[in-house]
Chain A
Amino acid sequence: MYQIIRQIIKTGIKTEAAPQSDESLRVTPAHLQQQILDAFGGALSIRLVDAGSCNGCELEIHAVNNAYYNLEGLGIKFVASPRHADMLLVTGPVSRHMEVALKRTYEATPDPKLVVAIGECACNGGIFGTDVDNYASCGNIANVIPVDVAVSGCPPTPVAILQAILTAISPEK
């Protein structure tokens, strides 16, 4: 126990300042009332859906939970069920085999809800192409469910992911 406490003290606090929201990431005009956004801003629950990613974007979503980005320190946490979630983070192109599961997850998320598309593939199909040129892909997330904010990058950095989440819960400027 002594060793563990010593290590915690030695490590110190690593958390860095959170980024500002970025209006350019918004794809759908903000549609939630200020009151709701304020409530979300205080304690936001997120459900991740990998709709067909290569797992690269997931690595960075894991990273936003580390001590440097400290997502939970902002009152934001990942939850195990869409029924407990206010926001869906969705990665990947939507594989045709995940189309139904993604729609059902979206439907299972209570209103009002927000959707943030994470990564190049989620924005435009990425390297795997779209429904036009790939028999197994539905293309970007917005082809399957409504998207509020989208961030590109292959994969986007943890800061960019944080920024996208914060943009979704900020009032439109």
Chain B
Amino acid sequence: MNNLHPNLQLTPFPTAIPAWQAPIVAGDLQLICHKVRESGGRLVAIWGRDRREAGFVLHVLLLTQTGLLCLNLPLSRQVPSYPDISRIFPSANRMQRAVYDMLGMAALQAADQRRWLRHAAWADDSFPLRKDFDAQAALRSDLDDYPFVRVEGQGVHEIPVGPVHAGIIEPGHFRFSVVGEKVLRLEERLGYIHKGIEKRFESSTLQQGAKLAGRVSGDSTVAYAWAYAMAAECIADKTPPDRALWLRALFLERERIANHLGDLGYLGNDVAFSFGFAQFWILKEQVLRHNAALFGHRYLMDAVVPGGVSVDLDEAGKKVLSEECAMLTREVQLLRRLYEEHAGVQDRFIGTGRVAPKLAAQLGLCGLAGRASSQAWDMRVQFACAPYGMLDVQMATHQNGDVAARVNVRFDELLESLRLQREIMANLLGTGDLAYPLASLPANGFGVGMVEGWRGEVMVAIHTDAAGNLDRVHPHDPSWQNWPVLEHAIIGNIVPDFPLINKSFNLSYSGCDL
């Protein structure tokens, strides 16, 4: 990694995955990003921090072939601006706009300077994550007026959808420009469920923060709670007991199993194959019921805590899960065959919502959708944190990048997770400590944690202040990368296929709106 730039002074993070940080100057930012991009690396996240008299800091987290690299760029109090990197990493566009909305740190010469997370609920010139933000004084109820890009031409018309959608789904606005049935352009607008999560972390204790992290995106509660715990453990330089790590992996795989089962059911439903919905949701319900019976929560909220886990699995529980595993493996294989042999289903899946590998690489598509377009990244494989290093996870990839490919990757990952669950249980022998208590964190610490959630890489960064309290916490959802790609996936498809394409990605709103 040292060959990225002669000035790069790397310090390793004591975290469970290979990760380094380095202070840089503004003039080097684009150069380093270019180098990382050229060597096949990706952008993970961008966030800012208000350090009062010391000015601001911009953090740019990159993923290279050797691990994570966090660039720390100090900015002056008076002019907190930095060079635009959205020309190098297109996914930086919305992240940079969010950094401006939250902290007033601007990306110089960025092509798109529209607001992103801020609609009109607080004053244009106040920034919630600045330490002197006065919520009462900043309150506004202005009319929201977002400059959508207009497509002109004969026969072109617009279909505005949302924020309240037709299904049971989170809110967001989609603006389709269509000719007849065919979509020429889709523009997304999110931020409707921005609920001040990052600000809220700043007044939370370490333990409250863990609960909050587990509610950034409810369907990925284990992934967020683990990433948060990993970041905290990185600052404290502590490793949880082995048993806790095995249990975390068990929970994370169960989260993946539950979500894939649910989405595979809905994908059937979206092509009028309601048999698929009924069957998969019976299976999902059984997983959730076992979670409730064995771990006290259907979605495993609050099961991962800083320092370890809060619940154990005994021999009787292992037996229940082994039987569940055998049943699921059998049923999923059968249902997969039925999906694959059903001409009507395949006709709707194949070729729909295609993201070619080249486009996926260019735009930084990640997670399961990325793997369905040949983007072979899986944290459990390349940068396996314990216990994944001992599990030999088989990565699922596909090159077609259409709905069918995403369905295939889900089936492969589902069956792989069931295999992993069996292996994990074989390693959960006897009893042992569930956690090494982590009451508070050292002062002025900085830690990162990242795990492969069912949707893709979930990252949490924590900074502590001079008293060891949470000074700044930034959770990052892989949907930041993937939402803009969905805009491309729909081009040339017909409007009625949008729900299907959308479901095949199933991106998070809450995880990005924060």
**Which chain B residues border A3 with CB–CB below 8 Å?**
334, 337-338, 341
Instruction: List residues 47-73 of chain A with CB under 8 A from any CB of chain B.
Output: 48-63, 65-68
Size category of the A interface is: 35 or more
- Given contacts A52-B195, A66-B282, whether A135 and B135 have CB atoms under 8 Å apart is yes
Is the CB–CB distance between B219 and A101 below 8 Å?
A: no
- Given contacts A55-B510, A65-B281, A67-B282, whether A134 and B298 have CB atoms under 8 Å apart is no
Q: Does B196 contact A (CB under 8 A)?
A: yes
Is the CB–CB distance between A128 and B195 below 8 Å?
A: yes
**Which chain B residues border A51 with CB–CB below 8 Å?**
171, 193
Q: How far is the CA of A99 from the CA of B143 in the complex (A)?
A: 12
Q: How far is the CA of A16 from the CA of B199 in the complex (A)?
A: 43
Is the CB–CB distance between B334 and A136 below 8 Å?
A: no
Q: Does B453 contact A (CB under 8 A)?
A: no
Instruction: List residues 1-48 of chain A with CB under 8 A from any CB of chain B.
Output: 3-4, 7-8, 11, 14, 48
**Which chain B residues border A50 with CB–CB below 8 Å?**
169-171, 193
Q: How far is the CA of A82 from the CA of B219 in the complex (A)?
A: 26
Is the CB–CB distance between A128 and B282 below 8 Å?
A: no
Contact of A54 among B138, B194, B216, B281 (CB under 8 A): B216
Q: Does B466 contact A (CB under 8 A)?
A: no
A47 to chain B: closest residue by CB: B164
- Given contacts A55-B508, A56-B301, A105-B164, whether A135 and B219 have CB atoms under 8 Å apart is no
Is the CB–CB distance between B338 and A128 below 8 Å?
A: no
Is the CB–CB distance between B194 and A4 below 8 Å?
A: no
- Given contacts A8-B275, A56-B299, A63-B285, whether A101 and B171 have CB atoms under 8 Å apart is yes
**Which chain B residues border A101 with CB–CB below 8 Å?**
163-164, 171, 192
Instruction: List residues 118-155 of chain B with CB under 8 A from any CB of chain A.
Output: 119, 121-122, 128, 133, 135, 138-139, 141, 144
Is the CB–CB distance between A59 and B279 below 8 Å?
A: no
Is the CB–CB distance between A4 and B171 below 8 Å?
A: no
Known: A53-B193, A96-B121. 17 other contacts (CB 8 A): A3-B334, A7-B334, A50-B193, A52-B193, A53-B170, A54-B218, A63-B285, A67-B278, A95-B194, A96-B141, A97-B194, A100-B144, A101-B163, A128-B215, A136-B122, A136-B194, A136-B195
Which B residues contact A (CB, under 8 angstroms)? 119, 121-122, 128, 133, 135, 138-139, 141, 144, 163-164, 166-171, 191-197, 199-200, 203, 211-212, 215-219, 221, 262, 275, 278-279, 281-282, 284-285, 288, 292, 298-299, 301, 334-335, 337-338, 341, 508-510, 513
Q: Which 10 A/B pairs are nearest by Cβ-Cβ distance? A: A56-B218, A136-B196, A80-B166, A96-B121, A135-B135, A66-B281, A54-B218, A55-B218, A54-B215, A52-B193
CB<8 Å pairs between A and B, sample of 14: A48-B168, A50-B169, A51-B171, A52-B193, A55-B508, A58-B168, A59-B219, A62-B168, A66-B284, A97-B121, A133-B203, A135-B128, A137-B196, A154-B301
